[in-house]
Every structure is written in structure tokens, then in C-alpha cells.
Amino acid sequence: MAVLTDYHFHTEISLDSAAPYYDMVMAEYNAGVRRACVTDHCDVMDWKTLGFNPQCRTVARQELEAYEKYRPLLPADLQLRMGMELAEMIFHPELAEELSSPPWLDFILGSYHLTKEYGDYHDIDYSDPAVRRGLCDIYLRDIQQVAELNYFDVMAHIGYFRRYAMRAGADMGLTLAQHGDRIEHLLRTLIQNGRGVELNCSGLRDGCGPFPSEEILKLYKSLGGEIVTVGSDAHRPQDAARCVDQGQEVLRACGFRYIAVFTKRKPEFIPI
């Protein structure tokens, strides 16, 4: 079996995780992961108040301090990297360069969870047909802006809001049949800028399927996309690395033969 990698998980440095750094990384190791990258939230906006989140300025420094403190205590055969999930950049694009510039960072997920229109995707009323009708357009408009900002390595969890829609009984994934042109434009932008796509496995845990969907992954591959990372998006030790092995299988089935890991923002390719 290929080396297990997890390039998306959180620790208590993230405002929505209580997992101690050491416990979380050890849970990854004990689940079999040997190439891991901590990606705590660096949220430019506060998900609840929808105002600026000043904590975003401290995340990269906290990441470095935790790494330096715990790296000596961790197993030698674990390759651990420092990253972050840089989110909501489109609200303060002038900060994106600064937040993404600390030279010790190995990897940055480009992420997006908040609409200007409705707030957090988690809190949207998916039962309202008028909201549902426009939501994919808003989502694609905004992640296209993220892609063009370009201050990241890999775009996180494309289409992840399907989870919240499904919980509300509405299935509204991003499909090529409905949004193919804009999805292709997004993927071409990422490829031209040398950016990759994350396969986020959190949807494999709860029956929503991978984010992005297989058809989007196949399109990315057919357009020449090669950089794909795999992430569990775990926020608790009991979810560490969950379904990353299944994520590798999904990628193989979509035609990928390599997954990416990063050191100082440069990809390296591991056969799967």
C-alpha cells in the first residue's frame, strides 16, 4: 500500500478544535500516516460575527511554536510539515500576501466558507428554493476569486457545502451538467497558476462523497492537472486520517498515479 498522507487536519490552534497539537499529530501517526501537515484555520473573517478576525495574524507564528516544541517528542519516521488553511481571503485580499508569506510554512490550503450574501455555508437555509437556486453561482463566483488571488498551494474541499445541503434534505452538488463551463474555467485557472486540488475525505466519512466529486477530479486530470493532496479535515483525534486510504483509492479510480506532499511550498509526488 502507498504511504499514507494527511495534508488537512486541525489542532487547538484552530478556533473550532480542542485537540492538543501533540495528541492530534500522534493520532495521525497511530492511524498509519507518515507524511502529515497540520493545517490550522487562518480565517480572515470570523464565521459567526462576519467581521475581521484578528487571530488570523497569529496563526503562522503559533504553528511554528507548536512545531518547535513538539517535533523533538514525535516519532522520527513521521515527516511532519507546517501548513495552514487560509480562508476567506476574498474579504480582505490586501492581507492575503502577508498572511501567506511566513517562510517556514510548507503548505497553504486556499479555502472559502463564507458568502457575502448569506454568511457561513454551515448556517444557510437550504430549504429555501430561492437560496438554493443561486448558491452554486455564488460559490463558483467566490472560489474563482480565491483561485485568482493565488496565495495558496492547493484549493481545499471544492463543493463541500453539499454536506450541509444534504443534512437539510437538499441534494445540490456542483455538477458538470449544470456548471461545467465555470468549473472548467476554475480548474484551468488553478492549473495555469501551478496550484493543485485537495481531495477532502471528510465527505467520505459521512456519506456525502469526496470533495470535489469524482467527475470534477477526472476533469481536472483530463485538463492536465497533476497536483492533488489528500486530507481528512479531522478536528478531533478520533477522526485523524479517517478515510485517507479510501481517498487514495478514489484518486486511483479517477486516473491519478501520484499524490502530492509539500516542503516549503514545493510539491513532491508520491506514487499511489
Please identify, among the stretches 19-27, 49-57, 110-118, 215-223, the one whose residues bind Zn ion according to the rule CB under 5 A.
110-118
| 63 contributes a contact to Zn ion by CB under 5 A | no
Q: What angle do CA 216, 220, 226 make, to 5 degrees?
A: 135
Minimal distance, residue 76 CB to Zn ion, in Å: 27
Number of H helices, E strands in the chain: 9, 11
Packing angle of the helix pair 176-192, 129-149 (nearest 10 deg):
10
Site string for Zn ion, 76-105 (x = CB under 5 A): ---------x--------------------
Which of 91, 83, 211, 70 is CA-nearest to residue 153? 83
Environment class of 204 (CB within 10 Å of its CB; exposed 0-12, middle 13-18, buried 19+): buried
Least distance from C-beta 271 to Zn ion, angstroms?
A: 26
Residue 119 or 180 having the CB closest to Zn ion: 119
Residue (85 or 106) nearer to Zn ion, CB: 85
Nearer to Zn ion, 184 or 236 (CB): 236
Residue 159 or 225: which CB sits closer to Zn ion?
159
- Residue 111 touching Zn ion (CB under 5 A): yes
Which residues ranging from 175 to 234 are in contact with Zn ion (CB under 5 A)? 233
Restricted to residues 232-261, the positions that interact with Zn ion (CB under 5 A) are 233
We find the least distance from the C-beta atom of residue 200 to Zn ion, in angstroms, to be: 8
Strands 266-271 and 258-263 come out as antiparallel
E strands, the chain, in order: 4-6, 33-43, 79-87, 107-111, 114-115, 119-120, 154-155, 196-200, 228-231, 258-263, 266-271
CB of 224 to Zn ion, least distance (A): 26
Binding site for Zn ion (CB under 5 A): 85, 111, 233
